Amino acid sequence: MHVYQRDQIEAALSGADVVAAIEAGFRAMSRGEAVIPPVGEMVFDRPPGEVHIKYGYLRGDDFYLVKVASGFYENPQRGLPSSSGLMLLFRRETGQLAAVLNDEGFLTDLRTAAAGAVAAKLLAPKRVDRIGVLGTGTQARLQLRMLAEVTTCREVLVWGRDPAKAAAYRHDLEPMGFRVEIADTTAEVATQSDLIVTTTPSHAPLIYADQLKPGTHITAVGADTPGKRELAPEVLARADLVAGDRLSQCITRGEIAHGLRTGCVCLDDCVELGDLLLGSQPGRPSPRAITVADLTGVAVQDIQIAKLAYRRLREREGVRHD
């Protein structure tokens, strides 16, 4: 059994094609090859926080995975990161623990951002003049970095509740080649962007249907528990195409779940990202279509990135077949 720390994992994944690994996972899931039980979850009030337990395997694969990921949103006030966690990779044939990936939440953040890039690759308009971002935290930064792999746009409009954090976001991202402007309201982001990524833990809508211009794509990332939402349900009603990472999971959490409860969307009209990747469902209907991708975070993403990290870690140690 091998134990790896965050710095080792980050170094091993430098230059890795994470987007391709996540795409392969979505394809396998939509082909029915993934065994993924319902999400385990604990939600805390004082202080506010949540813990997700996600686990599963792909049929015919060498490993199964168990992940624990937490988010405690007052941690920055204590000088601590808001998210943490680890992944446990087991050998499927024997049940033996192959690796402890003590990534402190890094792998979860990275695979989430990679899924955002997959969604944009499939659904964003061919020409993106401005990327809108809601949120200024880790995911807001990683999403932008991953989007650089699938779009040439570097014009960014960001909104955050804390002006100081928005200024820090601009300071950190501009050296990477992005030109970042700070919006005073979420409405500015909605009305002035072609590709919008929402990354907040909001429990109330931040974007409304009448704010969107034709041709807009939204990747909604923040609503990964049943109580969270960032989009008004009417956004889904107006959308020409709504995609989810895993529709059976989107029934209980995420933007699709709120749309179903309010009657603004029908599950039969939604598609999975994996089906779009496989070509079994049509993609973006037209240049002026409004599209939404609801990313609730699926264990197949964790399986894929954990395997990728483990194999690259072992290769760095001189072991190519394990």
The two tokens of residue 288 are: 């002026």
Both 255 and 311 in one domain: the answer is no
Both 161 and 249 in one domain: the answer is yes
**Does the structure show a pLDDT above 90 at 226?**
no
Q: Helix/strand/coil (H, E, C) string of the chain?
A: CEEEEHHHHHHHHCCCCHHHHHHHHHHHHHCCCEECCCCEEEEECCCCEEEEEEEEEECCCCEEEEEEEEEECCHHHHCCCCEEEEEEEEECCCCCEEEEEECCCHHHHHHHHHHHHHHHHHHCCCCCCCEEEECCCHHHHHHHHHHCCCCCCCEEEEECCCHHHHHHHHHHHHHHCCEEEECCCHHHHHHHCCEEEECCCCCCCCECHHHCCCCCEEEECCCCCCCCCCECHHHHHHCCEEEECCHHHHCCCCHHHHHHHHCCCCHHHEEEHHHHHHCCCCCCCCCCCCEEEECCCCHHHHHHHHHHHHHHHHHHCCCCCC
**Does the structure show a pLDDT above 90 at 17?**
yes
- Is the Cβ–Cβ distance between 205 and 223 less than 8 Å? no
Both 203 and 268 in one domain: the answer is yes
The two tokens of residue 237 are: 């009603």
**Averaged over 220-230, what is the pLDDT?**
92
Both 199 and 130 in one domain: the answer is yes
Domain that holds residue 25: 2-107+300-316
Both 67 and 167 in one domain: the answer is no
Both 74 and 23 in one domain: the answer is yes
Q: What is the CATH number of the domain that holds 275?
A: 3.40.50.720
Both 103 and 227 in one domain: the answer is no
Both 154 and 90 in one domain: the answer is no
List, for residues 159-203, the tens digit of each pLDDT value: 999 999 999 999 999 999 999 999 999 999 999 999 999 999 999
* pTM score: 0.94
List, for residues 111-135, the tens digit of each pLDDT value: 999 999 999 999 999 999 999 999 9
Count of domains in the chain?
A: 2
List, for residues 244-299, the tens digit of each pLDDT value: 999 999 999 999 999 999 999 999 999 999 999 999 988 899 999 999 999 999 99
Q: Note the pLDDT of residue 213.
A: 96
User: Measured between alpha carbons, how far is 281 from 274 in angstroms, rounded to an integer?
Assistant: 9
Q: Note the pLDDT of residue 319.
A: 87
Q: Note the pLDDT of residue 221.
A: 97
Whether 67 sits among the annotated catalytic residues: the reply is: yes
Catalytic residue among 67, 121, 228, 307: 67
